[in-house]
Amino acid sequence: MRATRLAKALEKFWSKLDQTTGHWLFTGKSRSGSLGYGAVKLPMALGLGRKMVGAHRLAFFLTYGYWPKNTRHTCDIPLCCNPDHLVEGTQADNIHDCIKRHRSRNGNIKLTPEIWQALRQSTESSTVLGQRYGIHPAHARKIRRGISGNVYNP
């Protein structure tokens, strides 16, 4: 019975990933204050309690069989759970990535040309886009209107 519950819980998790692009975007809940990272309550059948974990961390665990100390995104998309875009690292590695890629919690996020183009062409709400790309919805609106000059502008 435990195996059945675990299989159902894992099936539910994998069904919440939009795999229509190269990024497997988590469509479930996001943790508040986490720059748009997906959050999942672990199934009891895993034997680890009912604690909340990042969706990307659960995807890493299910793919590689162990919990990394820190999970880093190579694609810089917080909702991405594609195991090919996730690597193990340390907090220092994450900070180095943040500096190298011009990201920070204070909103100074440098968007790539691909993300900029996706924002401009999308018909989704600014709230959804903000969660997907880890930016404030108002910033997404400004980009869509062409009035934001502090990021890449093709």
Kindly report, residue by residue over 17-28, the tens digit of the pLDDT. 988 888 898 988
pLDDT at 107 exceeding the cut of 60: no
Confidence check: pLDDT of 89 > 70: yes
pLDDT exceeds 60 at position 120: yes
The closest of 120, 140, 116 to 36, measured between CA atoms, is: 140
pLDDT at 43 over 80: no
Where b means 16+ CB within 10 Å and e means fewer, 104-125 reads eeeeebebeeebbebbeebeee
Q: Is a pLDDT exceeding 90 seen at residue 32?
A: no
Tokens read off for 100 = 């190298």
Note the CATH architecture for domain 2-101. Answer: Alpha-Beta Complex (3.90)
With pLDDT > 70 as the criterion, what percentage of the chain qualifies?
A: 79
What is the spatial distance between Cα 131 and Cα 55, in angstroms, rounded to a whole number? Answer: 14
In DSSP terms, 52 is beta-bridged to 41
Q: What is the pLDDT of residue 83?
A: 93
Helices (H), 16-151: 55-64, 91-100, 113-121, 126-133, 137-145
51 SS3 class: coil
Q: What are phi and psi of 78, to 5 degrees?
A: -55, -35
How much is the pLDDT for 7?
79
Using the predicted structure, report yes or no on whether residue 148 has a pLDDT greater than 90: no
Cα–Cα distance for residue pair 27/4, rounded to 1 Å: 24
Give the per-residue pLDDT at 154: 41
* d(C-alpha 56, C-alpha 40), whole Å: 9
- The per-residue pLDDT for 153 is 41
> What pLDDT sits at residue 152?
44
pLDDT of the residue at 60: 92
User: Please, what is the average pLDDT of the chain?
Assistant: 78
